[in-house]
Structure 1
Amino acid sequence: MAVSYAQIKEYLSDSEDLKAQSLILPNAAACTILYLESMANLEFIQSFIIQPLLETPYHNIEQFAAATGAQKSSDLEFIGHSLLDGYCVIRLENHENVYMISAAQSYGRSIDEPMAEQIIKGSHEGFVESLSTNLYLLRYRIKSPQFKVRYFTIGTLTNTKVAMVYMEKLADPNIVKECENRLKSINLTQLYSTGEIDEMLEEHPLSPFPQSLNTERTDRAVSYLMEGKINILVDGSATVLVLPITFFSFYQSPDDYNSRWIIGSFYRLVRMISFILAISLPAIYIAIVSYHSEVLPPGILYSVKVSLTYVPFPPIVEAIAMQVILELLKEAAIRLPSPISQTIGIVGGLVIGTAVVEAHLVSHTMIVVIGLTAIASFAAPLNEFGTSLRILGFPTMLAAALFGFFGISVMMMVIFIHLCKIETLGVPYFAPFGPFHGKDSMKDIFLRLPVWKSQKNAQLPGPYKQSFTQRWKRH
C-alpha cells in the first residue's frame, strides 16, 4: 500500500509549507507532486519534473525515474526526511512506491578568505556553510582515489549531516575506527556547529588546551589530510575540525610554507617564545616586584620602584585587573561593528591606559607588561589557543604572588606535565616530546625545514628524491 498524502502531511506536523500539486498524466493516470516550498527549487520542479511528467505515459514512468536518478521507497520516515532535504516526491495513483528526485534549493555565500585566519601569501579560499561546497574545496585540491568520505547524521531533531574525511592509506586505521565509533555514539537532540562535536569527542574536558584544531582555511585542512589526520565537517558550519592534533600544530601557519624556509623558521621560533611570554610574563613581573627585586639592575629597579610609589594596590591586583580589562576590550571589539570596534581599541589603548596611570591605579611598568603579554598571546595563529594562554596566566600570577619564582617554576612544571599527559584519539598531545620519539620526529617542529630536506620528500620515489638533491647541488 502506497504512503498516502495524509500520512506524509501528518508526519510533517501538518506544516503549511508542504505543497501538493495534482497532475493528470497521459493515459489518464493521476499523479501528485509533493515538496516543501521552503527547501525545494520551484523553478527546477516546474521545468525538469512537472513538464517532462506531463509528456510521459504511465507505462514509461520507470524510464523517467531512471533518467532523473529518482529513488523509490514506501517507507514513511525515509520519505519525510527526503522532503526535509529538499527532495520532490512523486506519488502515483495505485502505485506501491513513491519516487523522490533531488530538487534542493541552494543559498550560500561566496567563497572568501576567513577573517580570523588571514595570511600574507598563499591561498585565500575559506570554507563556507554548505557541506557539499566544502567537500568540493577539499576534493579540488586532492584529486586522489584515496580521498574517502564517510557520512553521519547527528541530532534527533535537527538531523544534521556530518562528514568524516580522511586519506585511506595515510590515516591510521585504528584512529579512523576510534573516531568513527565516537561519532556514532554521539547522542544529541540538536547539532549546529563543529564546536558541539568538539566537546563530545575530546577526552579531557577540564583541560584549558584545545584538543582539536578548528580551521576555516582549505589549505590548512588539506595539509593535515596529507599528514594522515581526519577532517570533520558539519553541514551549516564553515569550520572544519581536525583530529588528532598536537600542541605544536597550533603554532604552525600556512605562511611558514609559503615563504622561504629561513623566514618561516624564524617566525615559528618567535611564536614558540610567545607561548612562554603569554603565560609567565605578568607572573615574572609580580615575582620580581614582590620578592626578587635584586635581580634587576639598579637603574631599572629605581624606575620600577618610582612607578609603584603611589599605586595603592599590590602587583597581583594590578595584573588581574588589567588582564580583565584587556579581555573586556577584546570582547567588546569583536561584538561591535567594525568602525565602532576600531574606536573601542583606540579608547582602550590610549584613553583608559593613560587615565589609570595618571590616576595612580596602575604603574607604567604594568601597562607595558600587560601589553607585551597580549601581543604574545595574539601571536598564536589560532585565536582559541591564544585565549587558553591568557586563562593560564591567572593561576601563574597567583602562584608568583604567593611563592615568587618558585611558584612560577612549579606552575610551569604542572603545565608541561599536563601537556605530556593528555591525548587526542590515543595520540600524545605533546608529541614528539611526551613521549620522546627521537630526532627524526623532531623535524618540522621548531624549524620549518626546506622542501628538499623534509621527511615527506625523503619518502618520495628515487627519481623525485634525486631531483631535489641535484637541484640543491646546482645552487
Structure 2
Amino acid sequence: MKENVNSIKSAVYESEDMKMRDLAYLNTSCKLIYLDSMVDKKLIERNIIEPLLDCKTETVPEAVIKNAEYSRTSDLEAIVDSLLEGSCAFVAEGENTVLLMPVAASDQRAIQEPENEHIIKGAHDGFTENLNKNIFLIRRRVKDPGIRIKSYVLGSKTKTNVSILYIEELVDHGPLEVLFQRMDAIDVQELQSSGELEELIEDDSYSLFPQLLSTERPDRASSYLLEGKSIVIVDGSPHVLVSPITFFSFYQSPDDYNSRWLIGSFFRLIRVFSFLVAVCLPAIYIAVVSFHSEVLPLGILYAIRVQIEYVPLPPFFEAIVMQLVLELLKEAAIRLPSPIAQTIGIVGGLVIGSAIVEAGFVSNTMIVVIALTAIASFVAPVNQMGTGARILAFPIMVAATFFGFLGIVLSIAALLIHLCRLESFGKPYLSPVSPMHYKGMKDSFIKAKKKNNTLKQT
C-alpha cells in the first residue's frame, strides 16, 4: 500500500490539496486519497467512510459503500485522471488495484434562459456548463431510445469530455462519418470551449460564414436532432454545436415554429432580407452618391447633395469611420457592466452621433444608412452570422468606391461563388438552393405548414 500511495503522490507532484485519510477496514490498513479542491466531503463521509467503519462482516468494499458508481483499476494514469475529475481512491494493503468512487463537488449554475437567444413564445431554459445536465435537457425533450452518444476526451492537458448525440434512424451517416474522422484526428494540448472545437473541425476556417451552428437553447438543438443532424456538446461550455448546417438555418428561430405558419414565414423572410441589407446598403449608398446619382428622384438627390456639400470626407471614408465607431460602441457595451453599458449605448447613439453631424464630419444620410445596416445585422438570431455580415460590408464598400454598381455586382457574384463552393461536413452550404431541391425549399425561406394527416377537412 505504501508503494501505491507514493506512486499516486508522485504522479500528482505531491500537490498540497491532496488529502489522505487512514482507515482500518476489517483489520486491514487502508487509505482514502482525494483532492480537497475537487470533492464533496459530505459525500465522502456519508457514502464511503461511515459504511466502511460500520461494516463488521467479511465482504469486499464495493458491497458496503453507498456510492452509485465505482470502478477498480491498476492503471496509474487512469487513477490520476479520476482524482482530477473529483473521484476518491481507496487503497488497501495487499491489493494491487485501487477502488475509484466519483464524489465530485457540484457547483454548477442553475438552468436559466440564454441571454443571447431570447424568444417571445416558447421554452425559457438553456444549456449550462455541465455535460450531463445538457444531455438531460435534450433527452427530456426527445424521449427516443434511438439516441446514440459517442464520447471523446480531447486535450492532453485539459482532458475535456466531448459527447456527440444523434438519432440512429434519422441521421445522415455521410456527414456523421466525416465528423467522427475529424474528431479522431484532433491532437491538441488544450480544449476549453466549443468555439475552439469548432475551429478544429469546420471545413473552411478562413471563411466568415460559420459551418457549425452554436446555440444555448435545448429546444433548438432538439429540433435539429429530430431533423437528422448531430449535436456536439463540450463539457464546460454552454454552447452546443449542430452539424451539418446550411446558410438558411442561421436565420431561423424557435419563434417561427411557435407561431402560425404565415407569421413565422413573414419574419423569416425579413431576416433573410436583412442579410442583404447589412451587406449591401452602405455600398449602395457610396455607389449612388459617387457614380449613379441619376437613379435617385430629383427631390431626394437635392436633399442628399445639400447634406454632403460641406462634408470634408468622401462617402467611403464616412462609411468606414461610422462602421468602426459602431463596432467600438458594440464592443464597449459588451465588456462593460450592464448599467454602464446602457449609458454608453445612449451616449454613443445620440450624443456622439449628433456631435459628429453638427461638426460636419458626417452627413445625416450616412448616419441613417449605418443605423439601418446595424439594425439589419442584429436581426440574425445567431450572432456569428450578424458579425460576418458587417465584416463583409467592408470589401463591398471598397468595390463600390472604385467601380460603383459594377463593383457591387462583382462582389456579390464572388460571394455567391464562395457560398456555392462552401460545405458543412460534405453537405452544400446553400442547400436547398444550390443544388436546387424543391422539396427542401418549403422550410428554408418560409416555414412549412404543419398538417394533421388524420384530421379530415370539412
TM-score strictly above 0.5: yes
Structure-to-structure mapping, 1:142-291, within 5 angstroms = 142-291=142-291
Partner of 2:408: 408
Percent identical pairs in the alignment equals 50
Query: How far apart are 1:434 and its partner, in Å?
Result: 1.5
Alpha-carbon contact 2:35-2:84 (below 8 Å) kept: yes
Instruction: Give the structure-1-normalised TM-score.
Output: 0.94
- Tell me which amino acid in the other structure corresponds to 2:439: D
Cα deviation 1:344-398 (Å, max 9, x = unaligned): 1111111111111111100111000000000110111111110000000000100
Q: Distance in 1 between matches of 2:396 and 2:148?
A: 44
Alpha-carbon contact 2:153-2:159 (below 8 Å) kept: yes
- Tell me which amino acid in the other structure corresponds to 1:304: I
Q: Evaluate the alpha carbon distance shift between residue 198 and residue 63 of structure 1 in structure 2; reply closer, same or farther with a 3 A threshold.
A: closer
- Tell me which amino acid in the other structure corresponds to 1:385: M
Partner of 2:332: 332
Cα deviation 1:167-195 (Å, max 9, x = unaligned): 11111122222211211211111111000
Alpha-carbon contact 2:280-2:396 (below 8 Å) kept: yes
Q: Evaluate the alpha carbon distance shift between residue 2 and residue 357 of structure 1 in structure 2; reply closer, same or farther with a 3 A threshold.
A: same
Q: Structure 1 residue 450 and structure 2 residue 449: aligned?
A: yes
Q: Structure 1 residue 466 and structure 2 residue 418: aligned?
A: no
Partner of 1:22: 22
SS at match of 1:59: coil
Alpha-carbon contact 1:39-1:105 (below 8 Å) kept: yes
Cα deviation 1:132-185 (Å, max 9, x = unaligned): 111110111111111111110000001011111111111112222221121121
Cα deviation 1:195-228 (Å, max 9, x = unaligned): 0100001111111111111000111110110111
Partner of 1:427: 427
Alpha-carbon contact 1:29-1:58 (below 8 Å) kept: no
Partner of 1:75: 75
Query: How far apart are 1:465 and its partner, in Å?
Result: 2.2
Q: Distance in 2 between matches of 1:403 and 1:93?
A: 83
Alpha-carbon contact 1:2-1:97 (below 8 Å) kept: no
Q: Evaluate the alpha carbon distance shift between residue 3 and residue 414 of structure 1 in structure 2; reply closer, same or farther with a 3 A threshold.
A: farther
Alpha-carbon contact 1:166-1:230 (below 8 Å) kept: yes
- Tell me which amino acid in the other structure corresponds to 1:73: T
Q: Distance in 1 between matches of 2:58 and 2:190?
A: 43
Partner of 1:355: 355
Structure-to-structure mapping, 1:67-106, within 5 angstroms = 68=67, 69-106=69-106
Q: Evaluate the alpha carbon distance shift between residue 269 and residue 63 of structure 1 in structure 2; reply closer, same or farther with a 3 A threshold.
A: closer
Q: Distance in 2 between matches of 1:201 and 1:255?
A: 30
- Tell me which amino acid in the other structure corresponds to 2:332: A
Partner of 2:58: 59
Query: How far apart are 1:66 and its partner, in Å?
Result: 8.2
Gaps of 5+ in 2: none
Q: Structure 1 residue 341 and structure 2 residue 329: aligned?
A: no
Partner of 1:458: none
Select between 50-59 and 378-387 the one with higher mean Cα deviation: 50-59
Q: Distance in 2 between matches of 1:63 and 1:377?
A: 58
Query: How far apart are 1:104 and its partner, in Å?
Result: 1.1
Cα deviation 1:294-317 (Å, max 9, x = unaligned): 000000000000000100111000
Alpha-carbon contact 2:212-2:242 (below 8 Å) kept: yes
Gaps of 5+ in 1: 453-463
- Tell me which amino acid in the other structure corresponds to 1:49: I
Alpha-carbon contact 2:232-2:242 (below 8 Å) kept: yes
- Tell me which amino acid in the other structure corresponds to 2:187: N
Alpha-carbon contact 2:47-2:66 (below 8 Å) kept: no
SS at match of 2:23: strand
SS at match of 1:301: helix
Q: Distance in 2 between matches of 1:67 and 1:357?
A: 72
- Tell me which amino acid in the other structure corresponds to 1:434: S
- Tell me which amino acid in the other structure corresponds to 2:284: I
- Tell me which amino acid in the other structure corresponds to 2:444: I
Partner of 1:138: 138
Q: Distance in 2 between matches of 1:119 and 1:415?
A: 31
Query: How far apart are 1:65 and its partner, in Å?
Result: 6.2
Partner of 1:11: 11
Q: Distance in 2 between matches of 1:253 and 1:70?
A: 43
SS at match of 1:46: helix
- Tell me which amino acid in the other structure corresponds to 2:212: S
